[in-house]
């Protein structure tokens, strides 16, 4: 038997679920621990083995590792700030078994301000050279608009310092908070000041207060679309092809838009006829797909179908959502299910006042 294994190799373990991944990891954890403990060849003996296994589950996993004390290694799985991958990272870590000598963390955790001192080239990013202020907007009072001020930022180094500030905030606020709590972010130098500066160490408390206030304001807010009105809009593109949109006009005039701050934008590519629209059979398939999503993402649960737009071989479907985790999972399932029929992609982003859909609103 051992000779056969040497000749043909062992069958590679299938990784089709979170549980499969952790079974594989557990078989190799002692080798991985040794690499981390002894500062071995991380790239060759850890990362190059881990990455392909994670990729079998889904793309978009990133990771960090290191020793947190003499006897315990930590593996941090991260979505690198990508909203639509956060839920998959969280669920993978939640499925992790207890393994002696290891701790597993979902997403980069927030750090105390004293522990965040980023060095990039000739620039430093810490509480000594960073401050902030916020801007209130009467027409959009729930929007969190933050400006970060770095003492050394100027026109020549703006790109480098902006990148450094993003890394600082990712570490200071934590990956989840940084990705989900700020609506508008601007980074400037001292000469561009417009308001009195606030020490950067107060930013975390400011965001916690604003988010708590926001959640309390809209807790329980729901909208039923059963009796809503819809409009069909038509336009002609530069190519001469038509653009056809169907939108929920009652939703677009709703006063509580901010209660559903996450926009799900689904893009489905199909084989168009001569004018960029779907032929009859594909039209029916697209409608069936859309109906399936509608059943899975119900308005009463906090997922509002704003409408759709069709042109040039692409149908886009728009939802405003209470949260981003379930839509991420549903769309991942839909993409797999319809892979042999349509090329489907999606984005999820924060837009409290649905400014993405201003083009559907008349003057």
Asked if residue 252 has pLDDT above 80, the reply is yes
In sequence order, the β-bridge partners of residue 149 are 131, 188
Structure token digits, residue 47: 């990362």
In sequence order, the β-bridge partners of residue 356 are none
| pLDDT given at position 177 | 97
Q: Can you give the pTM of this predicted structure?
A: 0.92
Cβ neighbourhood burial of 125 (10 Å; 0-12, 13-18, 19+): buried
Asked if residue 5 has pLDDT above 70, the reply is no
Contact 120/164 with Cβ under 8 angstroms? Answer: yes
Which residues does 53 contact at the CB level (< 8 Å), separation at least 6? 15, 21, 24, 25
CA–CA separation, 20 vs 22, rounded Å? Answer: 6
Which residues does 18 contact at the CB level (< 8 Å), separation at least 6? 57, 91, 92, 95
Neighbours of 260 (CB within 10 A): 26
Neighbours of 300 (CB within 10 A): 10
Q: What angle do helix axes 86-94 and 18-37 make, rounded to 10 degrees? A: 80
Which tens digits make up the pLDDT trace of 297-343? 999 999 999 999 999 999 999 999 999 999 999 999 999 999 999 99
| pLDDT given at position 14 | 82
CATH architecture under which domain 230-360 falls: 2-Layer Sandwich (3.30)
Pairing of strands 262-269, 230-236: unpaired
Which tens digits make up the pLDDT trace of 23-69? 999 999 999 999 999 999 999 999 999 999 999 999 999 999 999 99
What percentage of the chain has pLDDT greater than the value 90? 91
| pLDDT given at position 322 | 97
Long-range CB contacts (< 8 A, 24+ apart) of 11-20? 14/56, 15/53, 15/56, 15/57, 16/56, 16/57, 17/57, 18/57, 18/91, 18/92, 18/95, 19/95
Asked if residue 227 has pLDDT above 80, the reply is yes
Which tens digits make up the pLDDT trace of 129-154? 999 999 999 999 999 999 999 999 99
The 3-state secondary structure of 86-144, one letter per residue: HHHHHHHHHCCCCCCCEEEEECCCCCCHHHCCEEECCEEECCCCEEEEEECCCCCCCCC
In sequence order, the β-bridge partners of residue 270 are none
């Amino acid at each position: 038997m051992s000779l056969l294994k040497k000749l043909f190799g062992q069958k590679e373990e299938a990784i089709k679920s979170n549980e499969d991944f952790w079974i594989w990891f557990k078989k190799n954890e002692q080798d991985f621990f040794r690499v981390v403990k002894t500062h071995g060849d991380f790239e060759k003996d850890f990362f190059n083995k881990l990455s392909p296994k994670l990729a079998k589950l889904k793309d978009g996993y990133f990771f960090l590792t290191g020793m947190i004390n003499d006897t315990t290694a930590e593996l941090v799985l991260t979505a690198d700030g990508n909203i639509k991958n956060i839920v998959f990272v969280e669920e993978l870590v939640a499925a992790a078994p207890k393994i002696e000598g290891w701790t597993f963390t979902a997403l980069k955790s927030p750090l105390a301000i004293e522990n965040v001192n980023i060095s990039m080239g000739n620039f430093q990013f810490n509480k000594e050279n960073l401050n902030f202020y916020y801007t209130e907007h009467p027409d959009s009072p729930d929007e969190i608009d933050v400006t970060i001020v770095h003492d050394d930022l100027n026109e020549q180094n703006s790109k480098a310092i902006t990148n450094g500030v993003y890394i600082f905030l990712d570490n200071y606020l934590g990956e989840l908070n940084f990705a989900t709590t700020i609506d508008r972010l601007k980074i400037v130098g001292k000469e561009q000041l417009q308001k009195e500066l606030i020490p950067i160490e107060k930013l975390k408390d400011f965001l916690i207060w604003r988010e708590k206030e926001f959640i309390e304001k809209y807790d329980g807010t729901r909208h039923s679309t059963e009796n809503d009105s819809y409009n069909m809009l038509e336009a002609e593109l530069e190519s001469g092809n038509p653009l056809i949109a169907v939108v929920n006009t009652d939703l677009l005039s709703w006063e509580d838009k901010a209660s559903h701050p996450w926009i799900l934008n689904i893009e489905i590519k199909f084989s168009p006829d001569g004018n960029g629209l779907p032929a009859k059979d594909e039209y029916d398939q697209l409608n069936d797909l859309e109906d399936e999503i509608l059943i899975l993402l119900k308005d009463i649960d906090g997922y509002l179908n704003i409408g759709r737009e069709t042109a040039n071989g692409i149908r886009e479907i728009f939802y405003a959502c209470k949260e981003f985790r379930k839509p991420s999972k549903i769309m991942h399932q839909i993409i797999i299910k319809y892979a042999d029929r349509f090329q489907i992609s999606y984005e999820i982003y924060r837009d409290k006042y649905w400014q993405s859909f201003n083009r559907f609103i008349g003057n």
